[in-house]
Amino acid sequence: MKMMETNGRWAHTPLRQWWNFGYALEDIERILRHLPPGLSSAMHRLLDAIHYLSEFSVYRLQLMSRLAGWQSSTGERPVLGDTRGQFDDEEAEWEKEEIFALIGLDFDPSTQKRVNVRANSRAALLWNLRKTELLLRFANFDLPLPYTELDWLRVLILDLQSYFQNVTTHYYRMMVGSGKDARAMMVCVTKFKTFNSLGRISQLKYCIRAVSPALYDEVARNSPQLCPLVMAGDLRSGQELLKSARADSLQTIESLVCSRKGRIMLNRLAEHIEAQVL
């Protein structure tokens, strides 16, 4: 995780799970590097706020444990050796799942470095891969981001807003590939977080299923707070999002910064952070 550790500007605690997920690090780094100043500044203020809230919570729990006479002041730590055996039963059950794509990640709570990853075959199909190839890409931090660059920012912002929630459910567009090779779908993603005794994330589990454009539209209409794209001002229907997937996949943050329309979309994201979060 050299990039995360050396790039201090983006090494905030709440962002570490994204650096350590298994995505291609250069993809994330490229997006963040090309953010316009206003959006970059708003993102840093949001990350700083969550980072300090998280660290203050850890400090408070450490202090409480010391006052209570507990011996440990560092909190629970996972066994960093071979832990795959304890997940064999779970993985066997996951492989029976025919609807939901399932991904599980375990972290060292103190560093937020990933120590284990598992997934079922349905998850591999999201990237059009075999399960063995998916796990290899996870291991090598070589998994393509399943979003457009702009969509990833939108998903990230809503994810950060719900950082302290144990369970979240969001609806958005996932996409693999670009241009004529782009393959998109509307999905429902439920994320389960496990925190250790000091409030640090020790495990994440993702439950992902494809949904119809009509269901996406219904959720966007009745519960817009569950839809990152809607919250960021993208009011296109599910069908419109799928139809525009190829064109959208070719838009990078760098290219958006260079166009008036793109700058408006990025400024809207910054305004959303300022108005809704800060």
Q: Where are the domains of the chain?
A: 2-277
Tens of pLDDT, residue by residue over 224-276, are 999 999 999 999 999 999 999 999 999 999 999 999 999 999 999 999 898 86
E strand residue ranges, 63-216: 101-108, 113-119, 167-176, 183-195, 201-211
The mean pLDDT of 143-155, rounded to a whole number, is 96
> Is the whole model's pTM more than 0.75, yes or no?
yes
pLDDT-derived band at 79 (thresholds 50, 70, 90) equals: very low
pLDDT score recorded for residue 179? 73
Region of poorest pLDDT, from 7-21, 157-171, 208-222: 7-21
CATH number of 2-277: 3.30.450.20
- For tokens 């060292």, what's the residue? 108
Q: Is the pLDDT of residue 116 over 50?
A: yes
Element (H, E) at 7: none
The mean pLDDT of 61-85, rounded to a whole number, is 45
pLDDT score recorded for residue 3? 46
Q: Is the pLDDT of residue 25 over 50?
A: yes
The DSSP output letter for 35 is -
pLDDT score recorded for residue 77? 35
pLDDT score recorded for residue 78? 35
**What tokens does 18 get?**
């994204």
CA distance 210 to 42: 32
Q: Are strands 183-195 and 201-211 parallel, antiparallel or unpaired?
A: antiparallel
Long-range contacts of 153-156 (CB under 8 A, 24+ apart): 153/31, 153/253, 153/269, 154/228, 154/229, 154/231, 154/232, 154/234, 154/269, 155/228, 156/18
CA distance 155 to 170: 9
pLDDT-derived band at 60 (thresholds 50, 70, 90) equals: low
In 3D space, the residue among 37, 5, 1 whose CA is nearest the CA of residue 253 turns out to be 37
Ranges of H-type helices in the chain? 2-6, 13-19, 25-33, 37-67, 88-95, 121-126, 131-139, 149-161, 213-222, 228-231, 238-243, 245-249, 253-257, 260-272
